[in-house]
Amino acid sequence: MTDLLAEGIIFFNNGRYFEAHERWEDLWRRTRGPLKLFYQGLVQAAVGLHHFARGNPNGGRAQLTKSIDKLAEYPARFCQIDNEQLVADLRTILEEGVIRPINIVLEPRAVIQSEL
């Protein structure tokens, strides 16, 4: 996992959505290929929650909708993230229109040992 991804997760889990968005946006800008849209979905999740926290539910709903559309295209476990749970939590906020804390759960990385 990259440092920017991990830093963004720490900020996100602490409700510091603007800072999470900044880290993930830096990561998104540097990325090519299939990861790019996943990172953009994370950026949009952070921006959406930031909008909700600042009293802008319309902006929050718009960004969360974009985020969910992107993140839902990826597997349940992706980049060590429990993506399935993240998408479910974002959908709940979108449906209820009320911000609540989300904790991005990191899955342990599999260690593969070669045979001797």
105 falls within a domain: no
In a domain, 18, yes or no: yes
Query: In this predicted model, what pLDDT tens digit does every residue of 8-61 receive, in sequence order?
Result: 999 999 999 999 999 999 999 999 998 999 999 999 999 999 999 999 999 999
Question: What pTM was computed for the model?
Answer: 0.90
Q: Is residue 116 in some structural domain?
A: no
In a domain, 115, yes or no: no
**How far is residue 64's CA from residue 46's CA, in Å, rounded to a whole number?**
8
Domain encompassing residue 69: 3-96
Number of folded domains in the chain? 1
Q: What is the pLDDT of residues 86-97, one digit of tens each?
A: 999 999 999 999
Q: Give the CATH number for residue 77.
A: 1.10.3450.10
Which tokens is 92 given? 């709940």
Torsion of Cα atoms, 37 then 39 then 45 then 47, to 10°? -100
Q: Is 87 contained in some domain?
A: yes
Residue 74 and residue 33: Cα distance in Å, rounded? 13
- The pair of structure tokens assigned to 102 is 């989300």
